[in-house]
Structure 1
Amino acid sequence: MSGFKDVVGHNDIIQYIENAVTMDKVSHAYILNGEKGSGKKLLANLFSMSLQCENREEDGDACGKCKSCKQAVNSNQPDIIKVTHEKPNTISIDDIREQVNGDIDIKPYSSKYKIYIIADADMMTVQAQNAILKTIEEPPEYAVIMLLTENAETLLPTIRSRCVMLKLRNIKDQLIKKHLMEQMHIPDYKADVCVAFAQGNMGKAIMLASSEHFNEIKEEAVHLLREINDMELSDLLEAVKICTSYKLEIIDYLDVLAIWFRDVLIYKATMNVDRVVFSDQLRYIKARASKSSYEGIEIILDALEKAKARLKANVNFELTMELLLLTIKEN
């Protein structure tokens, strides 16, 4: 596990945590709120590791070498408790009672603090939330509870008002690209595509960069866009059949198409290739920019958004994709 100095972005949250640790002004309850892949678990783990470190650095970062740090890295630090739940989409009152409320009065085994990390805390039932609320209202002095959420608004107002809220914001594209290229050795053009998809989410960018399946989806979508002008109706219907094999990832597939046509629009408007995401497809981007009008490109981008909405509303998959591909071909 890296230290705070190795985290990309989230400087304001890291500064807050380091100040809280070094000045010994640690709250009993925190909410770390951000979308999936934004870094909530990483920050919660580093925060916990720092609090329990036996030889903490001056800036508040954990040493990474002491017994507690080594235990934390191996997920067996006895005073860092990660709350689990058996039901996939629910944290029940029994989960909270057994793992938090029934355990919290036992003093720390070997550390200054006893820390509870509750991932997916927005999955707590109302009963579970009320149970944790009682603990947050009157915690032992050594207790620290970290609630990790994608949507903190689902928590009771009484919980939110008693916790320090740490909101994870999007990371700048250039920082994500730098990380992908320098740490993962991802080629420039591939990093650009991953960054465009990730929209400020480092976890998603890393997942996309290391996903062979995403690369397959991207290549299939790009192949379609290169060939669609010359396709007959029967070819389009065959392309729809191919799309059905990506049914579970169809939003990613449509996002590839959308980024491609935004590239076309940007090139057509500026003749600037520096802002084109699909830089390895410039020949085809330029050809499409010559063929399509500004209005045509806008119609296509609008059709892509409508297709997403229809698929989310469970409109017939094949019909939705046929209409979309026809719109792309005609414009």
Structure 2
Amino acid sequence: MGTFKDVVGHKDIINYIRNAVREDKVSHAYILNGERGAGKKMLANLFAATLLCEKGGPDPCNECHSCRQAESGNHPDIIKVTHEKPNSISVDDIREQVNNTIMIKPYQGPYKVYIIPQADMMTTQAQNALLKTIEEPPEYAVIMLLTENADTLLPTINSRCVMLKLRNIKDTLIKKYLMETMQVPDYKADMCTAFAQGNMGRAIMLANSEHFNEIRDEAVQLLKYINEMELSEIVQAVSRITAYKLEINDYLDIIMIWYRDVLLYKATKDMDKVVFKDQIKYIKERAKRSSYEGIELIIESLEKAKARLKANVNFDLVMELLFLTIKEN
């Protein structure tokens, strides 16, 4: 499990948790809010382990019986709420796993910790059921709601919880972690960091993904030769991309980073900040060929394509239109 020292970034939240444990000012309810991959589960697990550590914190010792149980996922006083329906947490889930068990005292520790991942999926009825518990919890109970969008929770729940917002991590910290801890080579660390946009979980996922390399190579191949491509070849390219429909946002983000590189190089001639360093020859060519207006138009078209795909506009049509805009500019 490690300790808070192993967490990259989120120093404010870690200091807050350590102080709360040290000064015995632990609240009954917390919301850990941040996008997927930001580190909510890791922080919640460390917080829970610290609260129950037999040595009393402010970090889990990882040696006592309680810490070993927390690490293995078998601690009787750490309850992780699950749900069978993929997109909602029902009132029955909350009643059975939280409300009906919370009055039973902790088995061995000073606290009983409930962790609710994807808490923004709770139905209104489920939230109302939880609200009753949050309003009058037993003194040993700590409830942690992990959300990507806390605004979807009822205002009455938000107002009764301590909000811990996970912010984006600095690119330098992400790159350092990828290179030093995961032994990722320089150019790949740059790419994953640029892509992750401050999200450590996403950076790690991309660094480990073989599929990501495929998607990147497919996009780069297209961008290098799109000017020479006939309409029939563009249509063929779109049909190849259909295989990546699930990761289409990643594919579009790669194109976005490419054109940011082009714009950056065109404006500054600075190669150090370019992400696609291994493609610098083609970046230079594109910077020479495209106007500032053309590059801006392509970047706008990429945002429009994302929005259209989200709105379920015909995939082939959206992609063909995007590629033609790229070819013309």
Identify the residue that residue 11 of structure 1 maps to in structure 2: 11
Could you tell me how far apart the structure 1 residues matched to 2:304 and 2:81 are? 40
Partner of 1:73: helix, strand, or coil? helix
Equivalent-residue separation in structure 1 for 2:61 and 2:317 (angstroms): 58
Measured after TM superposition, the shift of residue 31 of structure 1 is: 0.7
Query: Structure 2: which amino acid aligns with 1:25?
Result: K
5 Å matches for 1:100-249?
A: 100-249=98-247
Task: Identify the residue that residue 309 of structure 2 maps to in structure 1.
Answer: 311
Query: Aligned partners of 1:127, 1:233: CA distance in 2, in Å?
Result: 53
What amino acid is the match of 1:121?
A: A
- Letter in structure 2 aligned against 1:158: T
> What do the CA deviations read for 1:211-232 (whole angstroms, capped 9, x no partner)?
1111110110001111112212
* Partners of 2:19 and 2:276 in 1: CA distance: 42
Q: What's the CA shift string for 1:285-316, capped at 9, x where partnerless? A: 01111111111111211111121122112222
Distance 2:276 2:256 in 1: 11
* Cα distance in 1 between the residues matched to 2:180 and 2:113: 34
- Match for residue 43 of structure 2? 43
In structure 2, what residue type is equivalent to 1:294? Y
**Structure 1 residue 44: deviation in Å?**
0.3
Q: Which residue of 1 aligns with 2:69?
A: 71
Which residue in 1 is equivalent to 2:260? 262
Aligned to 2:88: 90
**CA deviation digits over 1:29-87, x for unaligned, max 9?**
11111111111100000000000000245xx0110100000000000011011011111
SS at match of 2:36: coil
Count matched residues. Answer: 329
Aligned to 1:31, what secondary structure does the other structure show? strand
* Aligned AA (1:111): G
Find the residue that maps to 1:46 and give its secondary structure. helix
User: Aligned to 1:325, which of 320, 323, 327?
Assistant: 323
Q: Which runs of 4+ in 1 moved over 3 A?
A: none
Q: What is aligned with 1:55?
A: 55
Counterpart for residue 286 of structure 2: 288
Counterpart position of 2:249: 251
TM-score, scaled to structure 1:
0.98
Counterpart of 2:321 in 1: which secondary structure?
helix
* Counterpart Cα distance in 2 of 1:125 and 1:238: 44
Secondary structure of 1:246's partner?
helix
Could you tell me which amino acid in structure 2 is paired with residue 95 of structure 1? D
CA distance in 2, matches of 1:56, 1:214: 43
5+ residue gaps, structure 1: none
1:193 Cα deviation (Å)?
1.1
Q: Distance in 1 between matches of 2:161 and 2:304?
A: 40
**Unmatched segments (≥5 aa) in structure 2:** none
SS of structure 1 residue aligned to 2:96:
helix
Structure 1: distance between partners of 2:47 and 2:216: 37
Give CA-to-partner distance per residue, 1:237-292, whole Å, 9 cap, x none.
Answer: 21111111112211111111111011000000000001101111111101111111
Q: Distance in 2 between matches of 1:89 and 1:314?
A: 19
Separation of aligned partners in 1, 2:316 and 2:50: 53
TM-score, normalised on structure 2? 0.98
